[in-house]
Each structure stands twice: as structure tokens, then as C-alpha cells.
Amino acid sequence: MDKVKVGFVGCGMMGQLAHLTNFLESERCEVVALAEKREKLGRKVAEKYGIPNLYGSHEELCANDEIDAVVEITEDDLHAPIAIDLMNAGKHVFTEKPMATSLADAEKMAETAQEKNVKLMVGYMKRYDPGVEKAKEIVDDLIRSGEIGAITFVRSHCFGGDWVCNIGRPISTDEPAPEIKSRLPDWLPAELGREFKGYNNVYCHNINLLRFLVGEIKGISSVQLSKPGRYGKVVVFDFGPFLGTLETGGVSANFWDEEMKIYFEDGWIEIFTPPPLLRNVPAKVKVYKAGKIQEVITPYAEWDWSFRRADEHFLECIIEDKEPRSSGKDSMEDLRVMESIFKKRLGI
């Protein structure tokens, strides 16, 4: 396959500003269809971008045998049922993060991808940030060489801020959003539903990035709340040989307050990730080598946008028959950790 024929499900803000133009500009694909329940919105977007086929539902899109792959950018509760339908129709699927709103749904998605022999990729774009890729190479090299000892601790911090960075305005209409049925874990108390969905939507990125850079999380040691009902939390992870923390909350700022610091016995590596919608600015990386070395290294990554690189990776995996870096099977583990955090909080 030289060129992938792509359909889109959903064309809201993230669909338009973070993904659609990337696929339209790619030489590896052709965008041939759009499914959107909001009729006026779908028509306006299809007309603006020259998308030839417009459908009112993803089921109609499933029936189009011309489509090889689908980019599904909808509300979190819809990821699982829509992706499963698409994969059952033989389509490769790219879905936005979080993969799902329950581990049960995530497991079913991964199982369906394997059964139907299709690619399932979750849009954890931070894994494709050039700075993060450089940090991953450095961490792996330091672990192999033992130059500054073993990892002793890892700290992840995200208080947010301005994540949009004046990227532009999507096409919008006055149509109401479609009604969506919640698909939360069956063990989760109803009063924690909103908190779970908010935490899962934002901080799944940090959990995913921790796993990517330093390895799998073995367990949850503790969960501390700054105030009941708010997103402010400190979670202590057990990675086996070392512990790690995830500090989360919110702040009003014209910058993005997110970083990770990986401590070794004789130094550390810091990663400062950029605002998500700030185009072509990679994460900043700083390495401190202590002990007898005593030097600070600041490697620079190429200018590029993590969303564009993630979208290109999806197409590359289809054309070259490769497993996505943020596959459904891998991303399923983020839901396992997420549910474990809330179970630890509830004492179950």
C-alpha cells in the first residue's frame, strides 16, 4: 500500500486543529470521508477541506469499503464503541487519548484489534515529541552504560496552564452536542464519575509518559488529595527498584507547567514538555552528570510538532505493517493504572 485512504469520525476542535490538517497535508494518505452527527458542522468542514464523502454516523462510514483507516476524534466515552465497530469493519483506527473510560472497554478494544488484524493507535502525541524521543535515547543509554548509576526516583508534575497557545479557531455551529452515554467502571461510585473522567482525560498523558521513559508501574503506594472533589493529587507509584510521584493540579498561567525529572545515583535528566497545541516546539531536555563528571548537557531536538509526528506514525505503521509506538495493547495499561489509583483512594 502506497497511500492510505482515511476517514474521519468527529470534526470538533481537536479534530480540526490538531489532526485533520496533518492528514490532509500528508503525502501518505488521502482523506476521503467524514462522519459527523452535527449536520451543519460536518457539511461546513467537508466543504472547506474538500472531503468528498459526508456521513451522519460512523456506521455509514464503516460500510465504505474504500476506506482503509479511520481517525476517531470524539468524546472519551465514545472511543471504545466507535473504535470497536470500525475495527470489526476491517478499518485501522487512530483514536484520541484517553483510550477509553474503563479498563474493560480498553481490553475489548485491544482484543478486537488483534482478532481483526488491524492497527489500533492511541494519540499519546508526547511520545512522538522530538525532545521526548531524545530524552528516551539518553535515559536508555544511561541505564545501559551505568555511567551515572541506577535510577533512584522519578517525579512527574503537571499543573497545566495555557495549552491552546492561540492556535486558531475551528469551524463551529450552534448545533447541540449529541447525547452520550457514560461508560465508567462499574465499581466506581457515581459521585466520583466526573473526577475520574477529568483526571483520566488530562493525566493519562503523564502516566503514559512515565511508562514510556522508565518502565512499567508495578503498583500504587498511596494517593493523597489536596481537597476532596478536586483534581489536586499526589500519587506515589511503585516501579519495583524505585518509587515515583505524579503531582497534579491546576494553575492559571500563560505557559504550560509540566515536567518530569528522572533521578539517578549520580545525576538526573529533566524534561520540560511544551503546551500541547504549540506547533513545532519540542520538549526541552537537560542532563546533569554528578559524581566525578560534574557537567550539565542541554541537547537540542529538531523543530517539529508532536501531533504531526504521531499522525504520520499511524500512516507509516499501516503502510509498513508495524506496531504503533502507542498501540492499543500498550495504552490499555494506562487504564489499568488509572483504575488502580482510584481503587487505592477508595481502599478497594
Reported as a single tens digit per residue, the pLDDT across 312-330 is 999 999 999 999 999 999 9
User: Is residue 119 assigned to a domain?
Assistant: yes
What tens-digit pLDDT sequence spans the chain (348 residues)? 789 999 999 999 999 999 999 999 999 999 999 999 999 999 999 999 999 999 999 999 999 999 999 999 999 999 999 999 999 999 999 999 999 999 999 999 999 999 999 999 999 999 999 999 999 999 999 999 999 999 999 999 999 999 999 999 999 999 998 899 999 999 999 999 999 999 999 999 999 999 999 999 999 999 998 765 556 799 999 999 999 999 999 999 999 999 999 999 999 999 999 999 999 999 999 999 999 999 999 999 999 999 999 999 999 999 999 999 999 999 999 999 999 999 999 999
Whether residue 130 sits in one domain with residue 80: no
User: Is residue 69 assigned to a domain?
Assistant: yes
What's this model's pTM, rounded to 2 decimal places? 0.96
User: Is residue 295 assigned to a domain?
Assistant: yes
Q: Report the alpha-carbon distance of residue 119 to residue 316 in Å, rounded.
A: 11
Q: Which pLDDT does position 225 carry in this prediction? A: 82
The CATH number for 25's domain is 3.40.50.720
Q: Report the alpha-carbon distance of residue 265 to residue 221 in Å, rounded.
A: 22
User: Is residue 251 assigned to a domain?
Assistant: yes
DSSP per-residue codes, 20-85? IHHHHH-TTEEEEEEE-SSHHHHHHHHHHHT-SEEESSHHHHHT-TT--EEEE---GGGHHHHHHH
Whether residue 285 sits in one domain with residue 313: no
Instruction: Give Cα separations from 96 to 23, 101, 165, 173, 190 (angstroms).
Output: 14, 12, 20, 22, 25
User: Is residue 265 assigned to a domain?
Assistant: yes
Domain total in the chain = 2
Whether residue 313 sits in one domain with residue 255: no
User: Is residue 330 assigned to a domain?
Assistant: no
Whether residue 130 sits in one domain with residue 120: no
Whether residue 137 sits in one domain with residue 260: yes
Residue whose C-alpha cell reads 476524534 in the numeric block? 73
Whether residue 155 sits in one domain with residue 119: no
Q: Which pLDDT does position 230 carry in this prediction? A: 57
Q: Which pLDDT does position 231 carry in this prediction? A: 61
Whether residue 146 sits in one domain with residue 36: no
Whether residue 211 sits in one domain with residue 77: no
Domain carrying residue 197: 126-305+335-346
Amino acid residing at 30:
E
Q: Which pLDDT does position 187 carry in this prediction? A: 97
Antiparallel, parallel or unpaired: β 256-264 and 151-161: antiparallel
Whether residue 61 sits in one domain with residue 51: yes
Q: Which pLDDT does position 307 carry in this prediction? A: 98
Whether residue 94 sits in one domain with residue 54: yes
φ/ψ of residue 217, rounded to 5 = -85, 125
Whether residue 69 sits in one domain with residue 209: no
Q: Which pLDDT does position 2 carry in this prediction? A: 84
The CATH number for 229's domain is 3.30.360.10
Whether residue 151 sits in one domain with residue 120: no
